[in-house]
């Protein structure tokens, strides 16, 4: 139950209403579109694991590939001068750029591992794709340092969402 609440909060934060970018602000508009694509991909995978959407290996792979591709370009989507209004990106990103980039790189590593797993996805969700009953969202000692290639796909998704939540709580302005 708690994981579903957290998942909904993350998905709303990723795809929630955003301030419209000005006509000349293509970077902000592209960034917002990218975030919406990531949210849709994460939602699709989460719904497959929750049984709210039929599991299809091709759809799982497409969603994981989207997360991987978009996560790989995260740092480049936040150049100096594109932070603050009309974007929800806080200007504090520039003051804490190393922390922001470390979070983005970690999301990218997790998303890449998820895409590799999705490329070898079986016809149905198997036990080894599921979280192993550990604590919610992977908050185990050393979870962040563990080898993503050895983690179940569901666990990778939860860690990605956990990182998204951390990044948004620190670097995204709340929408009114």
Provide the token pair at 39.
Answer: 């949210």
Q: Is residue 16 part of a domain?
A: yes
Q: Is residue 54 part of a domain?
A: yes
107-161: pLDDT as tens digits = 999 999 999 999 999 999 999 999 875 544 444 445 556 799 999 999 999 999 9
Q: Is residue 119 part of a domain?
A: yes
Q: Is residue 40 part of a domain?
A: yes
Task: Residue 102: give its domain's CATH number.
Answer: 1.20.120.10
Mean pLDDT of the chain: 83
In 16-152, where does DSSP find H-type helix?
26-50, 57-72, 92-95, 97-119
CB 13 within 8 A of CB 168: yes
Q: Which domain holds residue 62?
A: 2-171
Q: Is residue 176 part of a domain?
A: no
CB 82 within 8 A of CB 31: yes
Q: Is residue 34 part of a domain?
A: yes
Q: Which residue has the higher pLDDT, 140 or 63?
A: 63
Please tell me the total count of domains within the chain.
1
CB 136 within 8 A of CB 159: no
What are the distances in angstroms from CA 47 to CA 11, 59, 84, 174? 12, 11, 32, 25
79-115: pLDDT as tens digits = 988 888 888 899 999 999 999 999 999 999 999 999 9
Q: Is residue 76 part of a domain?
A: yes
Q: Is residue 48 part of a domain?
A: yes
């Amino acid at each position: 139950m708690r994981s579903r609440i957290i998942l909904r909060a993350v998905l709303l934060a990723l795809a929630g209403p955003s301030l419209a970018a000005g006509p000349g602000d293509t970077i902000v508009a592209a960034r917002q579109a990218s975030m919406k694509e990531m949210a849709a991909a994460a939602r699709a995978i989460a719904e497959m694991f929750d049984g709210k959407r039929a599991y299809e290996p091709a759809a799982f792979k497409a969603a994981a590939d989207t997360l991987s591709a978009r996560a790989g370009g995260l740092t480049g989507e936040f150049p100096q001068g594109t932070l603050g209004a009309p974007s929800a990106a806080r200007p504090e990103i520039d003051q804490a750029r190393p922390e922001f980039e470390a979070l983005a790189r970690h999301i990218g590593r997790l998303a890449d591992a998820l895409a590799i797993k999705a490329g070898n996805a079986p016809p149905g969700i198997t036990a080894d794709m599921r979280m192993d009953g550990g604590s919610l969202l992977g908050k185990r000692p050393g979870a962040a340092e563990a080898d993503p290639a050895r983690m179940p796909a569901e666990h990778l998704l939860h860690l990605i969402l956990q990182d998204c939540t951390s990044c948004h709580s620190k670097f995204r302005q709340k929408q009114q």
